[in-house]
Amino acid sequence: MRGLGELEAKVMDVLWSAEKPLRVRDVLARLDQSRPLAYTTVMTVLDNLHGKDYVRRNKAGRAYEYTAADSREEVGARLLRDVLYSSGEVEQVLLHFAESATPEESDILRRALRKGESS
């Protein structure tokens, strides 16, 4: 899985916060635009996200409606796993992370491990 660029991340934020599928014009209208964006730019970004399997699209008349393929948390977990495995040293990276984790991160990891053991 490839990561997200700045505009792709903003588009995904819009889709993750949406309660229903959105068309390109809906996404464009909801984007916080520090600079003006063209409709075709947003359409291209959505097409790229579809190609990367971040979004699903369904035909609605002559246009597509887009939804996030996975939750923000699921995408984050996959991206972390991609980084972890791209290192070639999974065990070393995990051990280094565990040693450098903040107390809050350590608590989260312990809870997750306990939850996994009880399943």
**Number of separate domains in the chain:** 2
Residue 66's closest CA among 47, 52, 41, 79?
47
Please say if the pLDDT value at position 1 is more than 60: no
Mean pLDDT of 96-106: 93
| Beta carbons of 84 and 97 less than 8 angstroms apart | no
What is the enclosing helix (H) or strand (E) of 63? strand 63-68
Cα distance between residue 16 and residue 29, in whole Å: 15
pLDDT at 35: 83
pLDDT band at 61 (very low <50, low <70, confident <90, very high): very high
Please say if the pLDDT value at position 62 is more than 60: yes
How confident is the model over 8-17, as pLDDT tens digits? 999 999 999 9
Please say if the pLDDT value at position 51 is more than 50: yes
Residues 12 and 50 in one domain: yes
Please say if the pLDDT value at position 34 is more than 90: no
**Could you tell me the residue range of the domain that residue 38 belongs to?**
6-68
User: The domain spanning residue 34 has which CATH number?
Assistant: 1.10.10.10
Query: Count of residues for the chain?
Result: 119
DSSP three-state, residue 117? helix
How confident is the model over 76-92, as pLDDT tens digits? 998 888 888 998 999 99
pLDDT at 116: 79
* Domain assignment of residue 1, yes or no: no
Q: What is the DSSP string of 27-52?
A: HHHHS--SS---HHHHHHHHHHHHHT
Residues 78 and 64 in one domain: no
* Domain assignment of residue 108, yes or no: yes
